[in-house]
Structure formats: C-alpha cells, structure tokens
Structure 1
Amino acid sequence: MVILDGGLATHLEALGADLRDELWSAKVLVENASMIRQAHLDYFAAGAQVATTASYQASIPAFLRRGLSPAEAEELIRLSVRLATEARDVHGQGAVAASVGPYGAYLANGAEYTGDYDLDEDGLVAWHRDRWNILASAGADFLACETVPSYAEARALKRLLAETPGVRAWISFSCRDGEHISDGTPLRQAAELFSGHPRVLAVGVNCTAPRHIPSLIGQIKDKPVMVYPNSGETWDPEKRRWTGLADPVEFGAAAAGWHAAGSAFIGGCCRTTPEHIRQICGHVYGG
C-alpha cells in the first residue's frame, strides 16, 4: 500500500497562493518556489509517501506563451522536481513523481475532462516530447502521467515510454462515470494498453468523483491499481468555483474501502488537503 499526496494546487491556495491563472500551480514556480517546497513537506508530514511535482501545467508551450524563453521554461520544469526532491530529503524518506499533465491542461479549457482535442496521436507525441524528456532526466523516481482523458493520448504516452527505456511511470485517467474515461473509451480498454508493460508501476484514475471509484477499480486488470479522486465537490466551469462540501473523515473512510477493493496506491486530487491524507492513513492503517 502506497499513500500518495493530495491536491497540490488546493494546498498552495491554503498557503496563500493566487492561482487564478492559466498556469495554475505552475504559476508558483515563477513567483514563490519555496511555497511549493513547503506544500510538499506538509503532505509528507501528513503521511504521504510520494510528492507529485508542480509540473502538471508547466509545459514548454505554456511558459513560452507567458513570454519566457525556452531555456527559462526548461529550468522551471526542472525546478519542480528539485523542490519535491528537497522536501523528500528534508522529510527523510519518500519518492518523487514528476507530473506529466495532459494536453488538455495546456489548453486550459476543460479538455482534460472531455478529451476533446485538436491534435491526433502523432501530434500529441510531438507536443509532449520536450517536457517528457526534461522530466525524465530531472531526477524524479518516476513520471506521473495523470488526468489522461483520451485513448489517443494514452497511446501517445505509451510511445514516449518506448522512446525512453530507462523511465518508469504510472498512468492515471480522468473518468466520466464508473466505466469510461473522459472521451468515452472504456477504462478496461484504455488500461489494457499498459498490461504487462514492465516499466508501468500502476494504472488508475484521478480527478474523478469519489462515487465512481469502486466501480472503476474493477475495470483495471494485470496492474496494481491507483486511485486519487477529487474531494467530492463539483467544479462549476461557468462561475469558476467549487460547490458542495467534502468531509476529510468520510474521504478517509471511503479510501479504506478502495484499499479493500484492491487499490494499492491511494491519495487525493482536486480539493483534497493534508487532512484528507491524514484521514486516509488513519482509516487504512487504523492509526
């Protein structure tokens, strides 16, 4: 059983960051990098065993669009790994997962929840390649390919894995319901792309409503299962705010059920906090 961290952007906001920007948490890499290190430390202190870097939205094209040079963009992406590594070293144990966000995160239009892209598989390989290679060489323990909404993007990531034989990764999909990833492909079919792959540590789902997790766990075969859903609140894209309430204690109790159902990696995504991770640890381990 591996305990992942929770929502990095959520905790950065709690620490005082203003993320009302298309760069989202990557904005803090530019403005206040030490805050990211502190967020990682807080998650480790809560019981997380993995720090997921602030590179989800930190793509080369996004930084270039902001006016940075290619060299500055690369340095910021590498910085995301250094910050997580420094926090891990201060904590004394743990692993670092370099976040590979989907193309939809760069589009900043919600496409990571639909898979409605203007690039085909070849285009997605080309778009991801530069950041992929930077993160693969930056010193993380593995790559976290997360919130993948489309079958074509999953195939593109598999091709990039084949190009970098020394790299290990996990693959985590965003899902629309209890059976399908966001573009409508059955999760079982998408997960089968990585069945038997020796360098894929786990396959799972994230950025998905907790109510869908029990059904989704059963769709993944032949690989350790990973789940890190949202808190249970709902994002209103028109008003750009979260609605509803989510109780960390209830989330932790649900996590114990996900573990019993076969999930080997458990954490949280949007709107989860260090307290959610404490509750996962308490309910799973009885501490």
Structure 2
Amino acid sequence: MDFLKLIADRVVLFDGAMGSMLFASGLQGGDCPEEWNITHPETITHIHDSYYKAGSDVVETNSFGGSSLKLASYGFADKAVELNEKAAQLAKKVAPPNSFVAGSVGPCGQFIKPLGDLDEETLYESFKEQICALVNGGADIICIETMMDITEATIAVRAAKENTTAPVIATMTFSATPRGYFTMMGVDPNTAAQKLVKGGADVVGANCGNGPHEMVELIPAFAAAVDAPLLFQSNAGLPKLVDGNTVYDMGPQEYAAFIPDFLKAGAGLIGGCCGTTPEHMSQIKKLLQELRR
C-alpha cells in the first residue's frame, strides 16, 4: 500500500503517546527511552501492538530522542545506528498488513549557531545517520516532530529527502501567546507550514504542547497556508501536576469528541501525543468508522 495514496483517499489514524506509556511501564526520569529498544524490547513491541490493535494505521518508533546529538546526553552517541534500527524493527515486527511504521525524529536538544555552538552540517549529519538507520530498520515514513526551530526542522526534512525515498512528515509545537500561536523560537503556523512544504515535507502540521481545544485553533492557519495533507496530534488535555507527577486527564471519549472539529478544520491525519493511549485511538477509530457510513 502506498502511504501518500492512502492519505489522499481517507483520514489516516496515527498512534498516541509513547513517552507517557513508557513511564507507565516503569521508565524513570533520567533514563534513556531509546535504550529500552535493547533492554526492554517486549515492552516496546507491546505498546506498538496495542496501538495497531486499537486501529492505528501508523505507529511511530521509539526513537524520538535517537539522534547522536541527543543520545550524547546519556553517553550513547555511538549507539545511534543500533538504537534506531532496533526501534524500527520492533514496530515492523508487529505491524499488520496495510499498516505503516513512521520513524520518529525529534529535536536534537541543542541550539544552532549563532544562538548556540551547533553548526548546521553537524546537525545534518546527525539527522542523516538517524533517518537512514530508521529506514534500514524498516520504517516506511519519516516523522520529524515536536520541532521549535524552523531551521532545525528543515534541515531534518532535507536529510530525509536527500538520503531516502520515504515520505516525510514534519510537525512543530506551538504555544498560545497574546499575539497568537508561536513556537518557543517565535515561528508562527503560517511560516512553519510554508517553509516545511517548500523544504520538501509531504505532510505538515502540529503536535504536543496543546490539548485538543487549542489544537483545533491551529489547523485553519495551516490549511490556509499550504495545499498539503495535515497531521495534528494533541495532548490529552493540558498537563496538571498531581503529587509531583505530570498528569493528562482527558479521557478517550472526551478526546475523540473533538475529532469532527479537527476534520472540519482541515486535518486529514490525526492521532495523539502526551497522555493519549490505545484506548483514545480506539475511540477515534470507532468515530471514524461511523463517519464513513
């Protein structure tokens, strides 16, 4: 099945959170999530399998922080290829027919010159290494996500486009301000959408940072800026601190109730981010099936 043809034909359902699922499974603060691809493979495959069984067409690999630059903070920079290949292999292992594995690529965690010390060529090479390892491991799609810096995001898109034939998704994270929605680095949705598409992204959108109330407000800006498929994955509401723990308390049915608004606003690919679970995706799948009748 061709992913780009599929998204032209119908709404495509992604998975939900990986990070909060890992913490629920025992990951501790300060642990490297990507190391679990080697040390806890059964846990990772169980999470992927749960999302597929919930009806997700696409699951994202456990590789969000898998660039060598990000892994260096755990002392695992030299394990980038191994951890990313394994991430893709674990998802592919349980992928049903006519489903897809998206290689997750998150921010490197460093500032590019002149704001920081990181040069663009080093960043490009780090993303290239990660993305090629994901594709070699079996990823069908590359999903560059939770980006704040448009330069970093477009470098990641270029690394994917120049070194693989995989479709490329790029999403950024926005926060509400008195002047509208912007990323932490001051990028507005219109600029993000246009630059990402110009850079070669096949699908663009937003993830994380907001609950569905806020995410619905972002979609029209993307829809007006570009003629491209749009992916939006919000958190299960806004985070709350309970007994020192971050909690997202929007349940599956409440979350799924927003999906018709996502679709009316222009989203063609949907899923979830922090706090969402297979149960959230199952509710969305049921709703999508009802809408298709």
TM range (shorter): 0.7 to 0.9
Q: Indicate whether 1:258 and 2:265 are aligned.
A: no
**1:42 matches 2:50:** yes
* Map of 1:278 onto structure 2: 282
Residue in structure 2 matching 1:189, options 185, 188, 191? 191
User: How many residues are treated as equivalent by the alignment?
Assistant: 271
Mapped partners of 1:140, 1:181: distance in 2: 28
Give, in angstroms, the shift of residue 123 of structure 1. Answer: 4.7
1:118 is displaced (CA, Å) by 5.0
3-state SS of 1:39 partner: helix
- Show the 5 A alignment for 1:109-258: 119=118, 121-164=120-163, 166-177=165-176, 179-195=181-197, 200-209=201-210, 210-220=212-222, 221-234=226-239, 241-243=245-247, 245-258=249-262
Return closer, same or farther for 1:10/1:162 CA change in 2, 3 Å cut-off: closer
C-alpha distance in 2 between matches for 1:256 and 1:273: 19
Using the TM superposition, give the Cα deviation of residue 120 of structure 1 relative to its aligned residue in structure 2, in angstroms.
5.3
What is the DSSP-based 3-state SS (H/G/I as helix, E as strand, rest coil) of the residue aligned with 1:219?
helix
- Could you tell me how far apart the structure 1 residues matched to 2:148 and 2:77 are? 29
Letter in 2 for 1:195: V
Report SS of the residue matched to 2:132. helix
Out of 7, 18, 21, the residue aligned to residue 27 of structure 2 is: 18
In structure 2, what residue type is equivalent to 1:223? A
C-alpha RMSD over aligned residues: 2.6
Unaligned runs of 5+ in 2: 1-10
Aligned mates of 2:202, 2:151 — CA distance in 1: 20
Return the letter of the residue paired with 2:288: V
Cα offset for 1:10?
2.1
48-57 or 243-252: which moved more?
A: 243-252
Correspondent of 2:92 among 65, 85, 89 = 85
1:100, distance to aligned residue in structure 2 (A): 0.6
CA distance in 2: counterparts of 1:134 and 1:185, whole angstroms = 29
CA distance in structure 2 between the aligned counterparts of 1:38 and 1:244, rounded to whole angstroms: 22
AA of the residue aligned to 1:20:
G
Change beyond 3 A, Cα 1:185–1:196: closer
Q: Which amino acid aligns with 2:83?
A: L
- Preserved contact between residue 154 and residue 196 of structure 2 (Cα < 8 Å): no
Identical columns (%):
27
Alpha-carbon displacement from aligned partner over 1:144-190 (angstroms, at most 9, x marks no partner): 10101112212322332442252321001011125323311111111
Conserved? CA contact 1:233–1:271, under 8 Å: no
- How far apart in 2 are the matches of 1:79 and 1:194? 28
Residue equivalent to 1:76: 83
Q: Give the 3-state SS of the residue equivalent to 1:54 in structure 2.
A: coil
Moved over 6 A (4+): none
Structure 2 Cα separation of the partners of residues 123 and 85 of structure 1: 29
Mapped to 2, the partners of 1:2 and 1:170 lie a distance apart of 13
Distance 1:68 1:159 in 2: 24
CA contact (8 A) 2:67 2:126 kept: no
Measured in 2, the distance between the counterparts of 1:12 and 1:36 equals 8
Provide the rounded CA distance (Å) in 1 between the counterparts of 2:48 and 2:174: 26
Q: Distance in 2 between matches of 1:240 and 1:58?
A: 27
One-letter amino acid of the structure 1 residue matched with residue 234 of structure 2: P
How far 1:17 sits from its partner (Å)?
2.5
Q: What TM-score do you get using the length of structure 1 for normalisation?
A: 0.84
What is the letter of the counterpart of residue 54 of structure 2?
Answer: A
- Equivalent residue for 1:60? 68
- Give, in angstroms, the shift of residue 38 of structure 1: 0.8
Q: Distance in 2 between matches of 1:33 and 1:182?
A: 34
Secondary structure in 2 matching 1:200: coil
Verify the 8 A CA contact 1:21 1:27 in the aligned structure 2. no
